[in-house]
Amino acid sequence: MEFLNVLLLLFILVCAVSVSLTKNLLTSLIIFMSQSLAMSIIWILLQSPDLAITEAAVGAGVTSLLMFVTLKKIHAIDIQKDAQGGKQNGKAEE
C-alpha cells in the first residue's frame, strides 16, 4: 500500500510539471484530468471515499468538460492547426 501511495504521488508530481510544460492546451487538459483521477485514488487510500467520489466527478469530470468547452469557444481546438503545431514542435525538438 505504501508503494502504491508513493507511486501515485510521483504520478501527480509528474503530471503537475508536465501540465505546465506542455505547449498544446488540449494535451495539458487531458493530463490535468488524469492527475485529478490519481488524486481521487489517493483520497480512497487516505480513507475518505466521500472526497474521492466528489474529486472524480468534479475534478476529473465537470471541470475538465467546462475547460474543453472553453477551449472550443476560443478556437484553441483546431485539428489542422494542431497537426501543424505538432509537426513544428517535433522539428524543434529534433
Partner 1 sequence: MAKLRNDYENSFFGRLDRWIRGGGSRLEQEMERDLTEPAPESPLLSSESIGEREDAMYARHAEAHAKEQAMFDRLHNWSRTRGRKLMNALYALLSVVICLSVILVLLETVSDLPHFGDEENPINNEVSERYIEKGLQETGAVNIVTGMILDYRAFDTLGESHVLFIAACSVLILLRVSQERQGGAASQEKLDAEANDRIYEPKNDIILQASARILVPLILLFGIYIILNGHLSPGGGFSGGAVMGAGLILYLNAFGFKKTERFFTYKTFKVISFCALAFYALSKSYSFFTGANHLESGIPLGTPGAILSSGLILPLNIAVGMVVCCTMYAFYTLFRKGDM
Nearest approach, Cβ of 79 to partner 1 (angstroms)?
A: 7
> Do 93 and 70 meet the contact criterion of CB atoms below 8 Å apart?
no
Residues 1-40 touching partner 1, rule: CB under 8 A, are: none
| Nearer residue to partner 1 within complex by CB, 78 or 88 | 78
The Cα 39–Cα 52 span in angstroms is: 8
By CB under 8 A, tell whether 80 contacts partner 1: no
90 DSSP 8-state letter: H
Nearest approach, Cβ of 53 to partner 1 (angstroms)?
A: 4
- Picking from 47, 55, 57, the residue whose alpha carbon sits closest to that of residue 1 is 47
C-alpha cell at position 83: 497537426
Residues that bind partner 1 (CB under 8 A): 49-50, 52-54, 57-58, 61-62, 65-66, 69-70, 72-73, 77-79
